[in-house]
Amino acid sequence: MRTITTGLGLLESPRWHDGRLWVADWTAGLIRAIDPFGPSGAIEVVLEHRSLPMCFDFLPHLPAGQGLVLTSSSQLALLRLLDGSLTQYADLSALSPHGYNDIVIDGRGNIYVNNVNFDFAAGKSAADPAPGFVALVKDGCARVVADDLAFPNGMAVTADNATLVVAESYGHRLTAFDIGADGSLSNRRVWAHLRDHSPDGICLDRDGAVWYADVGDRCCVRVSQGGEVLDRVQLDRGAFACMLGGQDGCTLFVVAAHWPGPQHLMNHTDWDGTVLAVPAPAPAAGWPGPGSIDG
């Protein structure tokens, strides 16, 4: 395991794009792009936006300066980075008064965003989960395509654009949906039971496995469909999300930080957010990511 950088805030939403690792630093209100293999691990501040949560992904087949889309909880909207400025891409305010969490964009440009649908910072109990949902944003319009989710968190789409996998943190499971031709979701099913683990950010590999990050158990775990544990990376702090990348797609990047509990989410400063790199047994596949390393 190799430390890429440390001393940052609450990190989320790692994305491998254009040969660099991009991360959202929620505490600083920044999206940063990191060269994890360069001589100095250079970090560029790409944009500043105050929002918590704040996750992002990239529209396919566009350069980063035109394709970055982020969830703005402060504006209840999706924003798009165009030539250095953020513009509104879609209004999400009609779907929920609460902030939006994770986002994934598939190879056809379907944008999926989710919402836990309650005020997480107020400390709502995991024993009484609110009905979270996933929304599809297409042609600038947003609609709910899956609901009754127990704290929807990380999401990923298979390389064939056929399946969406959602981490249900309060449900201790990964849940899968078939993706229709119009982007709609159907055939909800449990992809993997995770016992007492609470999955956060996820990514897919070419062997059909899912890597999930777990804040409470301070680890990243690789599981096959059905829940068999294939690999485990133990950390000294909470793992918030993970992403496969690198030249061959076989490096697992993990963003981790010291978790103070939801009641201190808005005022905690000693996150010591860290980016780690771990060799992985299989390369990236699907989205978020390059679809597959072969293209």
- The pLDDT tens digits of the residues spanning 197-250 come to 999 999 999 999 999 999 999 999 999 999 999 999 999 999 999 999 998 999
What's the rounded Cα separation, in Å, for the pair 247 and 274? 21
Going by C-alpha positions, the residue among 88, 86, 80, 113 that lies closest to residue 99 is 113
Judge whether residue 261 has pLDDT over 80: no
CA atoms lying within 13 Å on the CB side of residue 85: 2
- Model pLDDT, residue 119: 74
Contact call for residues 50 and 26 (beta carbons, < 8 A): no
Three-class SS state of 190? strand
| H/E segment holding residue 193 | strand 185-193
The pTM (predicted TM-score) of the whole model is: 0.94
- Model pLDDT, residue 269: 72
Judge whether residue 285 has pLDDT over 60: yes
Amino acid identity at 180:
G
What's the rounded Cα separation, in Å, for the pair 206 and 249? 10
Neighbours of 207 (CB within 10 A): 12
Q: Which two tokens stand for residue 289?
A: 């990511």
User: Which structural domain, as residue segments, surrounds residue 241?
Assistant: 2-292
The mean per-residue pLDDT over the stretch 38-48 comes to 81
The tally of domains found in the chain comes to 1
- Model pLDDT, residue 59: 94
Dihedral (CA of 275, 280, 285, 291) sign: positive
- Model pLDDT, residue 64: 67
Q: Which two tokens stand for residue 189?
A: 């099913």
Report the CATH number at residue 95: 2.120.10.30
The mean per-residue pLDDT over the stretch 121-145 comes to 81
Judge whether residue 294 has pLDDT over 50: no
What's the rounded Cα separation, in Å, for the pair 3 and 278? 9
- Model pLDDT, residue 62: 81
31-67 as b/e, with b when 16 or more CB fall inside 10 Å? bbbbebeeeeeebeebbebebbbbbbbbbeeeebeeb
pLDDT above 90 covers a percentage of the chain that reads 78
- Digit-coded pLDDT (tens) for 152-196: 999 999 999 999 999 999 999 999 999 999 999 999 999 999 999
Contact call for residues 194 and 173 (beta carbons, < 8 A): yes
CA angle 231, 240, 123 (to 5 degrees): 130
Going by C-alpha positions, the residue among 52, 7, 53, 56 that lies closest to residue 31 is 56
Q: What is the 3-state secondary structure (H, E, C) of 194-239?
A: CCCCCEEEEEEECCCCEEEEECCCCEEEEECCCCCEEEEEECCCEE
Q: Which two tokens stand for residue 238?
A: 């909470």
What's the rounded Cα separation, in Å, for the pair 232 and 252? 12
